[in-house]
Structure 1
Amino acid sequence: MDYPKRVIKAGEQDAAIVRAVKLQLNQKLVLDNDPQERLDPDNPEFGPRMKQLVKLFQARNVDDQGRPLKQDGEIGSLTWAALFGDATVDSSAKADDKLLARALKIAAGEEKKKVREVPRNSNRGPEVDEYLKRAGVSPGLSWCCAFVYWCFDEAAKALNRGNPMVRTAGCLDHWQRATGKGARRIRAKDAIADPSLVKAGMVFIMDHGGGKGHTGFVESVNGGLLTTIEGNTDASRTREGGGVYRLTRKVSEINAGYIDYSGL
């Protein structure tokens, strides 16, 4: 059964989904040979006992990157993939829009070059200064959003067309102003419930509070996991790292949402 594009939790009303999950839990937790522990697939209720066993399954399993599942007793896309297999959740491996595909290619080229701050921890360097300059701000500032703008701008030039992205080095400023440029926004809560809404080439936005944020490209999506290309980060996935990196993030890490410039 394919992921139903919403979080499954206690009180679920779709009897077919409850039955399918109970059958998988019985099999994965080896409950079929114990009548007292086994969940009854013919009982359509997602109740406390089922929630407890979902938590047990989550405690014993990991996502396809080997990271622990959240033990909340709710079945989002990552828990669903662990139960039913990766092929049952949607994926997006490449951008269909020409501009977004070119921007991703350019971003990947910067990652391959291993762009780093010079000197370390300075928000400076030949490439970094150019990213910030293109976004219209002074050297030495945080540059993750400027990196995204530069990639869009280079892609637009290569395709001999205008750049639709907001010219800004501010992640949250970008989030607020994107719809004014015709872009579509997908809010985090909607993407967490249904990761199929997120596509390769979109821009993710994280809000760290106090007007601070972080951003980068979604390179690909596999269920509840994203492969991203980001500037001003590092392997710790922080917002003040020193280079351009390809990272893996959970969809649930992105707490603001996504911006989609496809079709513009």
Structure 2
Amino acid sequence: MKDGNEYGKDCECQELIKQRARYKNAMIPDEYEDYNFKNFEIRESVHDLMLKKITEYLKTFPQKKPAEEIVRKNDEKLRIKGPSFGFIATYGEQRIKNIDDPQLRSEMKRQHNNYGVGKSHLTISAAKYLIKNGYRVQVISDPVFIQDLMTAKFNKDNGETYNSILSNITQYADFVVWDDLGKLKWTEPREDLYYQIFNELYKLGKPIIFSSNEDVETLSDKIGPAAASRLKGMCSGYLYPVEGKDQR
């Protein structure tokens, strides 16, 4: 009580309930349940670099998400907007697959490995950090999400399923965490879909935190040059090619 009036605020148990709901809505895959920043192991210099870059990136946003009622009153000032972030390969998976000589292909794969380096561990850890601090996050596994969208396009429900899937990232989420971007083979319909999604998130100012086993050029081959260009522009310098030993 203050000045003769009672002022209410959420108790810790209410905030915990909301946090659990955000975590459930984020759809983090079960295999990533134990991922967090504390148990990320630094075994070589690339791990130290990756951890520093993503923690620096997260500091560009308020540690705690402003309350919804405050955001509504100050819509443009406090709405969550900012750059996207990506870990990509130094030498893309598709580039290695295209090498005809088996011996050379094996050697390049060894020299430029980007599997098991910790990209997904860190991006999922970022998702959990944001959820804990009040942000709504949607985690996407690229092959599953794109296949679900393409299937939904052909549902005879007047686009209801398709729009529902899209709204989870364009309307619900403050951040989209996109795992394994560019995993699927290129098709023209998928290229159109990637650009549509990235462009919509760009217009809404919603950041994407993503990982990919492709490099800048091969990612463009997989998702289309327009989508790749849009995504690169959204990153505003927060795009990091990485490679190292497979820690799995």
Which structure has greater strand proportion? 1
TM-score relative to the length of structure 1? 0.24
Which structure has greater helix proportion? 2
